[in-house]
Amino acid sequence: MGGPVSPGLRHLRSDEGTPEVARRAREILDANQNAPFGTEVPFEVDGRSYVGRIEEHYHEPGGSRRPWGRHRGVTVYLAE
C-alpha cells in the first residue's frame, strides 16, 4: 500500500539488519505517525544509505510478532 518503491531501493536481507537500523526505523515510525503510506525517509547507518518507508504491515493474530493484525510500520530498504 502506498504505491511503488522508489528506484534504486531493495529490501534488506535478513543478515543486513542491525539493532541500530531497527532503532532508526522505530524513530521514523514515531516521528511520522500521520504521514501517508508510501512516505520514504532516508537515513544512514555506518556509512550505508537506507530508506524507511511507512507501509501497512500485518502480523498473524496469536503469532510471536506484534502488534497483531493490520498496523502502520516501517519497512527498511537499502539504497544501492
Instruction: Copy the grid coordinates of residue 80.
Output: 544501492
Measure the CA–CA gap between 53 and 2, rounded to whole angstroms. 9
Q: Which residue has cell 535478513?
A: 14
Instruction: Copy the grid coordinates of residue 67.
Output: 502488534
Return the half-sphere exposure (C-beta side, CA atoms, 13 A cut-off) of residue 54.
16
Q: Give the start-to-end residue ranges of the domains of the chain.
A: 9-79
Quick one: pLDDT at residue 1? Answer: 57
pLDDT digits (tens), the chain, 80 positions? 567 888 899 999 989 999 999 999 999 999 999 999 999 999 999 999 999 999 999 999 999 999 999 999 999 999 98
Asked if 74 contacts 12 with a C-beta cutoff of 8 angstroms, the reply is no
